[in-house]
């Protein structure tokens, strides 16, 4: 079951936007996951770690800008989030 945590998906070109969102979430006491704090520097299979983080988070925020349209990683994260939502029991 997912925890009340937010997964942040963004293109690395937009890391400044993501940092502002992270700062806001922190000030509000909302736990979040994003790659800069959630991935260990020595992670070899970071795709698997990211998929696990998406599955563990209850919410998903996509920082949508021009840069994200060309990001294969972000597309995969969105696809994973939609797949997870399909598996979540309806309330």
What is the structure's pLDDT at 37?
Answer: 76
Has residue 89 got a pLDDT over 50? yes
Q: What percent of the chain has pLDDT over 90?
A: 23
What is the structure's pLDDT at 1?
Answer: 47
Pair type for strands 32-33 and 57-62: unpaired
**Mean pLDDT for the stretch of residues 2-19:** 85
Has residue 26 got a pLDDT over 80? yes
Beta bridge partners of residue 59, listed in sequence order: 6
Long-range residue pairs from 42-49, CB within 8 A, at least 24 positions apart, any chain:
47/76
pTM: 0.80
**Mean pLDDT for the stretch of residues 55-67:** 88
């Amino acid at each position: 079951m997912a925890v009340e945590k937010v997964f942040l998906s963004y293109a690395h070109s937009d890391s400044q936007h993501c940092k502002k969102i992270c700062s806001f979430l922190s000030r509000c006491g909302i736990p979040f996951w994003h790659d800069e704090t959630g991935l260990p520097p020595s992670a070899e299979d970071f795709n698997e770690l990211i998929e696990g983080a998406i599955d563990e988070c209850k919410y998903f925020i996509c920082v949508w800008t021009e840069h994200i349209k060309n990001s294969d990683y972000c597309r995969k994260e969105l696809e994973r989030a939609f797949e997870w939502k399909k598996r979540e029991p309806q309330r």
